[in-house]
Amino acid sequence: MSTTIYHNHHIIPQYMGGTDDPSNLIKLTIEEHAQAHRDLYEKHGDCRDKLAYQGLEGLIGKDDILFALCGNRKGSTWYHNPNNPKDQRMFLPEDTIPLNWVIGRGKSKVPDRNPINAIAKAKASKSLKSAWKKAKANPNSPLMNRPKPTKEAIEKVAAANRGKRRTITKTKCPSCKHMIAINVIKLHIDSVNCLTNQTGLSRFKLEKLGIV
């Protein structure tokens, strides 16, 4: 009975798009497998082939391979495939970087649940940034001199409504087009809520942009 150990070897490496299809697999002995990865390393320069043939030849151990693959290598830099953000790893300066890979960590793209809102928010954010930049250069800009309700004005409205039966009549805000109670419409127009309704941005985002 033969005691020869065979490995399945990918003719086209997986990091180059090779699949587990039987047509892409070939049975090789351990020595042949090591030589195949050595040839691939000399041809493409990918450190995974170097680790593979060194491991198969017994030059390095499993812990050494795992250490290298985890990216814990001094002087190494993260790269990722922009077409597949999950495909990322670290390379040393002497390593051959895969074609079209870019520097930096890749991030999985989460599809926006409401792309129409996402586009609107992006445009609003860009517009607000541009407007704020111009406003900072012009102290007389309306954006820099937005009237804010005073404490007295708020107390006056509160006092006028105190004790009244809550029959709320609403009207459309001329700025954000939302239906607002008519007794607070003047306060609403100058409020942060009105601005968030107009732009679709949160209060936190507006504060971050320096608008409020």
| pLDDT tens-digit readout, 27-66 | 999 899 989 988 988 888 887 888 888 888 888 877 667 6
Could you count the other beta carbons within 10 Å of the beta carbon of residue 10?
18
Integer angstrom CA distances of residue 12 from 19, 26, 84, 131? 8, 10, 19, 53
Task: Measure the CA–CA gap between 160 and 158, rounded to whole angstroms.
Answer: 5
User: Can you give the pLDDT at residue 196?
Assistant: 77
- What residue ranges do the domains of the chain occupy? 6-103, 115-209
In this structure, of 32-41, 70-79, 147-156, 189-198, the range with the lowest mean pLDDT score is: 70-79
% of the chain exceeding 90 in pLDDT: 1
Task: Measure the CA–CA gap between 70 and 211, rounded to whole angstroms.
Answer: 43
Between 102 and 72, the more confident residue is: 102
